[in-house]
Amino acid sequence: MATRNLQWVLASRPEGAVKESDFRLVESELRPLEQGEFRIEVLFLGVAAVMRNYMLNAEKFERPLAIGDVMHGRGVGRIVESRNAEWRVGEIVHGKMGWQQYAIADGSAYFLMFKVRQRVAPVSTALGVLGLTGFTSYLGLVDVGAVRAGDRVLVSGAAGGVGSNVGQIARNLGADPVGIAGGAEKCALLVSRLGYRVAIDYRAGDVSPGIAAAFPDGIDVFFDNVGGEILDAGLAQLRRHARIVLCGAISQYVNGVERPRPLHNAYAIFKKMARMEAFFIYELSAHFERAEAQLAAWIAEGRLIYQEDILDGIQRMPEALLRLFAGRNVGKQLVRVAG
């Protein structure tokens, strides 16, 4: 049994872009477990843009990080030791693990720990299509967006982590997805691989004419990952009783600072008897098992594809995060820590 741990700790707070030197790799002794705790051998860690905010203590839903603290991050791992009857040795779990080889958790809500039940795909997918990203895609579209067969669905950020699932899910449910993404390459991918009927390139100019052309009878469900102008453009084309799912608002951040712009077409929500709704995925955790089962079934049937970009070795965590910020990753950016 291992006795030592490798951990990435915060060395300095970023000014401007995150640098590798903002982190420091340290080795420490594993401490014994207390009653109620269990130890996880981390198999994979993910990186996410929100991590810069963690480094700046700019996200209220995360514990503040002091200089020298282990970096926050979600991972998937195997329970290797347990003093908690609910969490048994050998189980595969995903949740808050931090940038380290061995994590300690307990049953409390803080760790947002969930058991991996599916056996059809690699456990790394618990950080992507079979984890929160996939659950956000599925539950956002099905439970919040109330999508039905035949619905015309618009998805912004359609080539992103969530968006690349949403088109395929919509298609699998008999709906008709149209995606918005940036650049010809991503747009080609939307149509060739990700289930979208049509792709609209926002880098090619105003998306409004493309939306109008793709939705002559209006939009039933608008799954919005970006907010701002693109949200506004979609609102102009709502069909009666449309549902607008506010999943993300990446466009409303400028260097991590929120700069929301006014919505000119929000009146359409009133006129079209529509509904606009945001959600917090952790609050839908009662439905994760259902989402995982459906997503895993589609993967097994070859009806849901996903892409991962895996670096090897915990040493490469800062590099992985920088790849993400540089947009060099193709698919979900992960680091293999063990296994």
List of residues contacting a second copy (CB under 8 A):
227, 246, 249, 252, 258, 260, 262-264, 266-267, 269-280, 283
Q: Which is nearer to a second copy, 18 or 162 (CB)?
A: 162
What minimum distance in Å lies between the beta carbon of 333 and a second copy?
25
Determine contact, residues 312/334, Cβ cutoff 8 Å.
no
Cβ proximity to a second copy: between 23 and 222 the closer is: 222
Which CB sits closer to a second copy, 29 or 283? 283
Q: Report d(CA 114, CA 93) in Å as an integer.
A: 5
- Provide the β-strand partners of residue 257: 254
Inter-CA distances, 41 with 21, 79, 106, 114, 339, Å: 26, 6, 14, 15, 9
Compute the residue count for the chain.
Answer: 339
In the complex, minimum distance from the CB of residue 268 to a second copy, in angstroms, rounded to a whole number = 8
Q: Shortest approach of a second copy to residue 106 CB, angstroms?
A: 26
> CA 119 to CA 225: how far, in whole Å?
29
Using the minimum distance from each CB to a second copy, give the nearer residue, 167 or 227. Answer: 227
| Closest to a second copy by CB, 4 or 241 | 241
Smallest separation (angstroms) from a second copy to the CB of 130: 24
Longest dimension (CA), the chain: 64
Any idea of the CA torsion for 187, 190, 193, 196, to the nearest 10 degrees?
Answer: -140
Q: Which is nearer to a second copy, 279 or 325 (CB)?
A: 279
Shortest CB 253 distance to a second copy, Å:
11
* Residue 117 beta carbon to a second copy: minimum distance, rounded to whole angstroms: 27
| Cβ proximity to a second copy, 253 vs 325, nearer residue | 253
Contacts of 322 (CB under 8 A, 6+ apart): 18, 19, 20
Q: Which is nearer to a second copy, 31 or 261 (CB)?
A: 261
- CB of 94 vs a second copy, minimal distance in Å: 22
Contact 22, 318 (CB under 8 A): yes
Q: What is the distance between the alpha carbons of residues 118 and 223, in angstroms, rounded to a whole number?
A: 26
User: Who contacts 14 (Cβ-Cβ below 8 Å, separation ≥6)?
Assistant: 22, 52, 55, 56
Rounded Cα distance between 195 and 148, Å, is 16
| 80 or 263: CB nearest a second copy | 263
**Which token pair is 163?**
């968006």
Question: Which sign, positive or negative, has the C-alpha torsion 304, 134, 279, 290?
Answer: positive
The answer to whether 215 and 178 have CB atoms below 8 angstroms apart is: yes
For residue 259, the minimal CB distance to a second copy (Å) is 9
Residue at 292: amino acid letter: E
Shortest Å, Cβ 126 to a second copy: 24
